[in-house]
Structure 1
Amino acid sequence: MLFLFGLVSRRRADMGEADEQADDGELVRAALAEPLTFTCLYDRYLEPIYSYCYVRLNSREAAEDATSEVFLKAFAGLSGYRGGLFVAWLFQIAHNVVLNIQRHRNLHTSYEVSELADPSPTLEERLISYSERQNLRAALAQLPEEQRTVLELQCAGWSGAQIAEALGKSAPAVRMLRHRAVERLKQIILGQEVA
């Protein structure tokens, strides 16, 4: 089920560029009346949601499946959307989908075939890289959920403003969370006692 709305979103050009200017609330109201309008929301948030899923699941295929599931759940539950920041609502769906996938599939790490087939790094380099990734994942798991989420979204390519909007926080609050997360990671990785 690879990006269900992708085929429909190509019709976006027929709908004009008004959706570029429309805010999420207007698009949600329009999508409730005309379901095809949901493709505007899909186009707007496909990349950030996919990036988040990819960072959390570390697998292209799993991220594609999760992204499709997020948008299917959002589309099906659109009538239950109660206002507020649409991106925060969508992000919460993505967060729940990812947790569900991790719980059911017990996904710890997964490497793309292209990464494993790359002949350039030596076995020793790949083992060191793998070990460093494992250490980083273990350190990230020790962070409070909110701090970990900020770092994961940043690694997924989200801007500070996008993270703030998704989490319903101010930009300075997100910067502080990021700073605290990085400092705590340093302490964990360097083996210092964290208070």
Structure 2
Amino acid sequence: CADSQSRCQEIYVACDRQFQGVLHYTDPLRAESDRLIHTLQEQYGIEVYLLTGDGPDRATQVATSLGIPTNQVYAQAFPDEKARIVRELHRAGRTVAFIGDGLNDSVALAYADVSISFAQGSDIARETADVVLMENNLMDVLEAIAIARQTRNLIDQNIALVVAPNIVALGLATTVGLNPLIATAIHNGSAIAAGANSLRPLVQHQFDQGQT
């Protein structure tokens, strides 16, 4: 049996139809939870919400220990309720990332802008998630954010590398005239530069591994 209002869950034990006692248990917090949430809030300015199927007392206890404001805590949130909260945040203009690894998280994962799960999570959570973290470590979320931002920066750089030279070449061709061979060299050169820029993180990673 489980008492949804308590901080722990209970299993009643009987032997030969005779009551023997009660086992109290609770899932411990991950060791890295506090550091992850602090980093997300302080360094990235991200609002962290807690959506849990646990009772209000347990949810408040966890939120307080992790520094999550109580008005961003939703207790006794089952699958449909989690999905509803994600949709409400959408309607409020928020970009929502949802982290979950259980069967009851799959609906909310599907509605989130970015859904994150773990390789050790349920099959449906892994299939639904946009990002699957191979190690069972919450701090990998920060690495995933860093990779995503680096990728976005590379895309912006590559667009600039391709578009800017070609706009210049087009302007020269329509005003003072431009040798077709030079125009071709500019076009192909910008494409090669963008391709080389895309390989830069891989080269840097291999270089860093060589240093260690």
TM-score by length of 2: 0.21
Q: Which has the higher strand share?
A: 2
TM-score by length of 1: 0.23
